[in-house]
């Protein structure tokens, strides 16, 4: 499954995180970082405007954006695993700091899978 990380997207996302949503775990060089659900401003499954394939778009709060910027700055040119509900969704190599607080998760999944993933992050679908 090919997954890509795209940054700096403007968000038209309308879903709000619900209490009990899944935290996002970032792991690089054995260091683990957590973006808790209260730092996720919005999450939505949609069709990518350029690819026409399902994507999950995340917009982080200011606090979450700072953490993501710190992690990606500290781990330039290193692999960064992004996991939700214990599943590693992607393992991109960080080529530049992600400072905009937006992530786009895309890959070989269906709209149903993208919707389930967005629901897990938002706390609308339980992990497992």
Domain ranges, residue 25: 4-122
Confidence of residue 17 (pLDDT cuts 50, 70, 90): very low
Q: Which two tokens stand for residue 51?
A: 């690819």
Answer yes or no: is 13 within a domain. yes
Q: Using one digit for the tens of pLDDT, what is the confidence trace for 49-96?
A: 888 899 999 999 999 999 999 999 999 999 999 888 888 888 889 999
The residues pairing with 43 across neighbouring beta strands, listed in sequence order, are: 58
Number of domains, the chain: 1
CATH for 75: 3.30.1360.200
Q: Using one digit for the tens of pLDDT, what is the confidence trace for 83-114?
A: 888 888 888 899 999 999 998 888 788 999 99
* Whether the predicted pLDDT of 11 surpasses 60: no
Distances (CA, A) of 26 to 14, 84, 86: 24, 9, 11
Report the predicted TM-score, pTM, of the whole model to 2 decimal places.
0.76
* CA pair distance 33, 93, nearest whole angstrom: 16
Answer yes or no: is 118 within a domain. yes
């Amino acid at each position: 499954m090919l997954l890509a990380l795209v940054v700096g997207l403007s968000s038209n996302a309308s879903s709000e995180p619900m209490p009990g949503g899944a935290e996002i775990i970032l792991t690089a060089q054995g260091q683990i970082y957590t973006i808790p659900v209260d730092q996720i401003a919005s999450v939505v499954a949609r069709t990518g405007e350029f690819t026409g394939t399902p994507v999950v778009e995340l917009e982080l709060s200011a606090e979450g954006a700072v953490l993501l910027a710190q992690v990606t700055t500290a781990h330039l040119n290193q692999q960064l695993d992004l996991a939700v509900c214990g599943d590693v969704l992607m393992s991109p190599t960080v080529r530049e700091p992600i400072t905009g607080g937006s992530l786009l998760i895309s890959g070989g999944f269906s709209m149903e899978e993208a919707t389930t993933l967005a629901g897990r992050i938002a706390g609308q679908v339980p992990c497992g």
